[in-house]
Structures are given as structure tokens and as C-alpha cells.
Amino acid sequence: MKHLELYDTTLRDGAQSEGISYSLDDKLLIAKKLDELGIHYIEGGWPSNVKDEQFFKKLKKKPLRSARIVAFAATRRADLSAQRDKSLKNVLEAETEFVTIFGKTWDLHVRDVLRVSLDENLKMISSTVKFLRKKGRQVIYDAEHFFDAYLANPQYALKTILAAQEAGCVNISLCDTNGGTLTSSLVKIIAVVKKKISVSFGIHTHNDSGLAVANSIFAVEHGASLVQGTFNGYGERCGNANLTTVIAILKTKMGFDCISSAKLKKLTSVSHFISEVSNVRLEQNQPFVGKSAFAHKGGVHINAIMKNPDSYEHMDPKRVGNHRRLLVSELAGKTPIILKAKELEIDLDKKSPKAKKVLALLQKLEHEGYQFEAAEASFEILIKKALKKYKSFFELESFRVIIEKSKSGKVVSEATVKVKVNKLREHTSAEGDGPVNALDNALRKALKDFYPTLSKMHLSDFKVRVLDEKVGTAAKVRVLIESKDEKDIWGTVGVSENIIEASWQALVDSVEYKLLKDSKCNPERQ
């Protein structure tokens, strides 16, 4: 099979999407998932940014399996040498083998944005790449606005990428930064570039004209060996090329060995996971990985599908980890459940009545609004309960939350929790910054004498999504809680019309999973 490398910029370009704000832990979780999927390059962000600086430091202590982490920066400033440019010093301190540098290729940007001469811009590109190469870095050069630049001033646009090549970059990625280039123009420009450069070239497209994926695919067909994009198409304005779609097309339609067939089966779950962590609803009709991508509702379609799936499906959904849905009967395949169970080291036979029972339960919960892609801890507890292989660590009798606002304007939440552990009743209360924080404090206070290790865990993130905006304040909400201890990070989920109840469900699963995890390591506790 033909080889091609994948370059993900979700953590940098994707983070620039309106409504997305990744915490440090979010970035680490996403990087780990992308690494597991087999992405070759993961752009971590700007090392000059404090959060991104910490991201690079964390990964130095606990490296990924195979993905190369890439630091990102601009060419040096016009009034500084590369040696004195602080952002380039930060890039070196990130200690990544690969660095991506973007530079101006469009004379409009050189004159109106940088406000330097065209010759000075060429020097900025050349000296930056040379400086990083002397420091032992492999440099990918992002030719920003290249296609617009070429249409405006082809001679100068070519000079900019040749300057980067002569300075020692290993790849030149041509960027359609404004996302307005038609595919026909893109192909013609690439044909010229290929004759002028000797290093490999990549493609980086934006989706402002709805052509990002198409332009990326055509670039590959015309020789690009590196494809840049973001998961689920996140990014500025209308987003970047959707790497989820690009990967599926390259692998299943074009025969590129960009990831293994086994890892391709994780594509849907990774897409949904990143959606949940990003707190952005995944479009149901997203190609390949959307909930509706292989859903069939019309009677004629369903009848044909039951006889021959090829009649209304362009590929087997199992290849990308998705599954067929026949909406009239609400049938879903058991394969994704079996695969997920195996990941959790739960033995589940596809043909057994137990598998059917779990499938029916998951369908019911999915219909109610539950999603387990970023809540694997809840899924493990759920499936073990369904198979009667789980014993709860405590029993809830009741909880109550009071919110009080004083004359000074301070708002305080107080939670009261009544639980039973081994028939012993515990009644306690605690305050918190908000109702969920108060519930968390009260619950762990009630359990601390029974389970001391709970002191080593804490909630690290809390996300709420309204499932049906049309219902207004009566709408169901899905709460996703992320928890961590000194070793692991895990996610749990709750759904209810009452946000406190949904939060409680996720909170209980979070605590239960911590105790379950500890009991696996120390079975004598049980």
C-alpha cells in the first residue's frame, strides 16, 4: 500500500475554533487518543504559551508511544535575529525533534501585516529555518496563504518556499489559509510547485468554501505526502480539513497505508471522544463517524439493506468502528459493544444472550441521551452491572443541596448526603463553591473512613450539554465529569432533566470507578 503521513493540529488550530477552550489535561487526553490511533505528527501548540509550555514538559516526562510531538512558531520577528527571538528560544526548550514554522508567502501580508520589504521577509524565513536546523531540529515549513499568494504574485510566492527549502526544511506544507481556493486552481498550482522543489510537500486547507477535504484529497492525488487537518474539522471560522473524513477516504477509498486497518476501527470512538472533550456536539450526519452516517430510515432502504448492505452503504461501517442503524426497528450492531468490552478486558460473546441484553440496555440509554465515548468509566460500571459482575461500594439513601446567597453577595452551596457502607449508615454535609463541588465534598467526606484512597482523587473537569434546546429549561442535560488521581484520568456521564441529578450520577460513577480501580490492584480490600 502507498504510504502517507498524517499531521494533526487539533490542539493548536482546532483550539482556535469558536467555543473551544482546552485545559492542559484536555490536551494530554486528546494527544494520547491521537497517538493510540496512529497519527504520525501531533502539533502541540506554541511553546511560548504557558499552558502549551506545560504540555510539552508533561510529554517529556511521559512520552507518547509513536506519534511525534511538534512545536509551532512563526518566523523570527523583523527586528530581531533568530538567536534573540524569544518564541524561537521557547521552541528549542520544548525539545521536540520536529518544529513547524509558518511564514508569509503572500506579498499582501508582507506589506500590510508584517510591514517589511519583500526581501526582508525572505531573510526572515531563511534565517529562522537555518537557526533551527543548526540546533538539530527537523523543520516543517507552513507556507501560509500560499495559494492566494501564488495567484497574486507567483514569482514571489515561489521564492518564499525556495528560501525555506534552501535553508534546510524537510517538508513544505502549502496552506489554503483563507479556505477560498477552488480545487481546479489548487491542482494547477501544485503542478507548478512540484517542478520547483526537491523536498516533500504537504497540504493544509481550511473549509471556508466547503472544499477543505476535497482539496486535501486532490493534493494527495497530485503528490502530497503529508496531510494536515483537525479532528471533526475544528478550527478558525469554518474550520480546517476534517482529518476524520480525510483518514477514512485515504485508507478505504485510495489504499494509502496512513494507519492500520485495526486502528481505523477506532476512528469513530476517537472522533466522539474528542467531541466530548471539546464540549462540541458532533454532527450526526458527519461522514463515516456520525451517528447517522450508516443509519437507514426509509422502508425501501431498510428492505434493500437487509438483503444486501451494498445497496445503500458505500462501505462496511465496521471498518471505521461505526455501525449500521435501522431506525424503524432501532437495531444496532453488537460489534462495537464487543470491541469496547474487549478494551475493558470484559469477556463478552457476540452470540450470547448477555450480549443482546447489554445491547438492548445501551440502545435504551442512548435513546435517553447517554454517550459513553468520553465516559469509559461509566461504561465499564454499566456493563458489569448488566452482567451482574459488579457490587456497589456504597448505597445512597438520600442527598440534598442548598444554595444560599448572603447580603454580601457571596453564594455558598451546602450538600447533605446519607449513605450506607456495609450496612453502616453515614450522614454528613459539606460546603462547596457550587452544588456539584459541595456534593463531591460531602460524598467523599462520608466515605473517607471506609475508603481512604478517595483523598487521592479529585474532579478535574465538568461539562454540561443541553440535549434538546427547544424544550428550554425543561430540557435534558448530559453531564460529563473528568476525574483524576496520581496515575489515571477517567470520564463519567449522567443524564437527567435535573442538572443536579445528572451531576450526581456522573459523580457517583466517578467515585465508584476509583474504588473499582483500586480494588483491581488490591483485591484484599474487598
Q: Give the whole-angstrom CA distance, residue 481 versus residue 507.
A: 7
| Backbone CA torsion sign across 266, 268, 272, 274 | positive
- Residues 103/121, Cβ–Cβ less than 8 Å: yes
- Quick one: 300 exposed, middle or buried, by C-beta within 10 A (0-12, 13-18, 19+)? exposed
All domains in the chain, ordered by first residue: 5-254 (3.20.20.70), 395-525 (3.30.160.270)
Per-residue model confidence (pLDDT) at position 388: 84
Residue 404, all three cell numbers: 444560599
Side chain identity at residue 129, one-letter code:
V
Residue 391, all three cell numbers: 457490587
Write a three-state SS string for 229-296.
EEHHHCCCCCCECEHHHHHHHHHHCCCECCCCHHHHCCHHHHHHHHHHHHCCCCCCCCCCCCCCCCEE
Choose among 11, 472, 466: nearest CA to 480: 466
**Which residues, in sequence order, are bridge partners of residue 142?**
102, 173
Write down the pTM of the prediction. Answer: 0.75
Per-residue model confidence (pLDDT) at position 329: 32
Side chain identity at residue 123, one-letter code:
K
Pairing of strands 477-484, 489-496: antiparallel
Mean pLDDT by 10 residues, the chain (526 residues): 88 96 96 98 96 97 96 96 96 98 98 96 98 98 98 98 98 98 98 97 98 98 98 98 98 95 96 94 93 82 84 96 67 55 72 80 84 83 86 93 88 94 92 92 94 92 82 78 89 93 95 90 50
Per-residue model confidence (pLDDT) at position 344: 66
Q: Give the whole-angstrom CA distance, residue 450 versus residue 394.
A: 10
Rg (CA), the chain: 26
**Residue whose C-alpha cell reads 456522573 in the numeric block:** 506
CA 350 to centroid of chain Cα atoms: 29
Per-residue model confidence (pLDDT) at position 332: 41
326 CB neighbour count, 10 Å cutoff? 16
**Residue whose C-alpha cell reads 521552541 in the numeric block:** 91
Per-residue model confidence (pLDDT) at position 328: 36
- How many residues does this entry show for the chain? 526
- Residues 369/478, Cβ–Cβ less than 8 Å: yes
- Residues 497/504, Cβ–Cβ less than 8 Å: no
SS3 517: helix
